[in-house]
Amino acid sequence: DLRGNNITKLTNVMVPTTLRHVDLSQNAITSLTANWSSCASLTSMNISHYNMRALNITSLSPSLTTLDLSGNSFEIVTVTPDVFQLLNTTVRVFYNMGEASSDTIKLVRHM
């Protein structure tokens, strides 16, 4: 649980493959590039309330069931086409202040 630690940057992070839950909420990171596919046990990820403006998710753990993106200010969201094709996945995107592009809206509706 790294919630509320005023973290401003995450670079070259080695994530244990046995990690089940990661809570990075309420930090000061404004952009996050993530590749979480090697975390085979990861079921829950919370990156809410960051004031995050850019998000680049190239891949997620196939075991992920909950992703909380609420309370951010997204201007740019880059997601590879197959990243949200996981079964039984809940994605929370409530209370985001940024403007969503039509591609982002289509992605959310597709889920």
Identify the bridge partners of residue 77 per DSSP, sorted by sequence position: 55
CA distance 42 to 61: 6
Identify the bridge partners of residue 79 per DSSP, sorted by sequence position: 57
Q: What is the predicted pLDDT for the residue at 95?
A: 56
DSSP 23-39: E--S---SEEEEE-TT-
Question: Which pLDDT band holds residue 90 (cuts at 50, 70, 90)?
Answer: low
In one letter, which amino acid is 22? V
Query: Which residues make Cβ contacts (< 8 Å) with residue 18, sequence separation at least 6?
Result: 41
> 29: closest CA among 3, 58, 51?
51
CA distance 41 to 31: 24
Query: Which residues make Cβ contacts (< 8 Å) with residue 14, sequence separation at least 6?
Result: none
Question: Which pLDDT band holds residue 94 (cuts at 50, 70, 90)?
Answer: low
**Pure H helices in the chain:** 102-110
CA distance 43 to 109: 22
Q: What is the predicted pLDDT for the residue at 105?
A: 41
